[in-house]
Amino acid sequence: MFTGLIEEVGKISSVRQANGKLDLEISASKITRSLKTGDSISVNGVCLTVTKFSSGKFCVDAVGETIKKTTIGSLRIGMEVNLEPALQLSQKLGGHLVQGHINGVGTITEIKRAGENYLLCLSLPHLLEKYLIQEGSIAIDGISLTIADVNSNKIMCSIIPHTWKNTNLHTRKSGDKVNIEIDVISKYVEKFTSSKPENKNELSEEWLTKLGY
């Protein structure tokens, strides 16, 4: 589990692909001080496992399903990635609950200045449209953001200068693909409301079983 608050921007230092698996080596001076083998880490919003680490570098593996459903397979040497270690119970939840399970890949349609801030416009898969609400939370490449505006499957988020400087957003441009994770609470709400019995007064055993009770 993560918060969507990026701790460090790392840089891809090695990419190796074999037997349907992708091995990534990432340079990151700060985050490696507290890492150990087996730790979960968010790389551009994707939950991966640290396989090994050394001074200032660590390695993670991505398997076929992850490569297929995320942008991990498009990473190249020199590219910057957003990094966040797994949330600990003693930490404050500064962003929102992020699982590291990507729901789809979005496309940046426009980035523009708005005073000191930036406006990030994206087009998302239509399957995610039902989860999008104004002022709702969303994770874009692992960054916890608030949706400022929604129009069908298109959203706009306002980016403050701190987030712009301390994530890989400053390297992004129109047409780039990004990992999208919908707020888990909205998914539970959608499942609950879509599973309601036709008769609101009828709480059947079958309906409760569908909800996992």
Read off the pTM. Answer: 0.88
Residue 127's pLDDT is 95
DSSP 64: H
Token representation of residue 158: 């306002």
Amino acid identity, position 154: K
Residue 184's pLDDT is 85
- Residues recorded for the chain: 213
Q: Over 80: is that where the pLDDT of 93 sits? A: no
Which CATH number is associated with domain 104-185?
2.40.30.20
Please tell me whether residue 107 adopts helix, strand or coil conformation.
Answer: strand
Residue 107's pLDDT is 99
Q: Over 60: is that where the pLDDT of 137 sits? A: yes
Which residue has better confidence, 200 or 118?
118
* Residue 9 Ramachandran class (φ > 0 left, ψ -120 to 50 alpha, else beta): beta
Residue 142 Cα distances to 1, 4, 42, 48, angstroms: 11, 5, 7, 12
Which residue has better confidence, 175 or 188?
175
The structural domains of the chain, with segments of one domain joined by +, span 8-85, 104-185
Which residue has better confidence, 213 or 126?
126
Candidates 2.40.30.20, 3.30.360.10, 3.40.50.150, 3.10.310.70; CATH matching 8-85: 2.40.30.20
Task: Find the mean pLDDT for residues 76-80.
Answer: 98
Residue 149's pLDDT is 98
pLDDT tens track for 183-197: 888 877 877 777 665
Task: Find the mean pLDDT for residues 97-126.
Answer: 97
Token representation of residue 117: 């801030």
pLDDT tens track for 16-28: 998 889 999 999 9
Domains 8-85 and 104-185 share a fold: yes
Which residue has better confidence, 121 or 90?
121
C-alpha closest to that of 31 among 166, 174, 141, 180: 166
Residue 11 Cα distances to 8, 65, 154, angstroms: 10, 23, 29
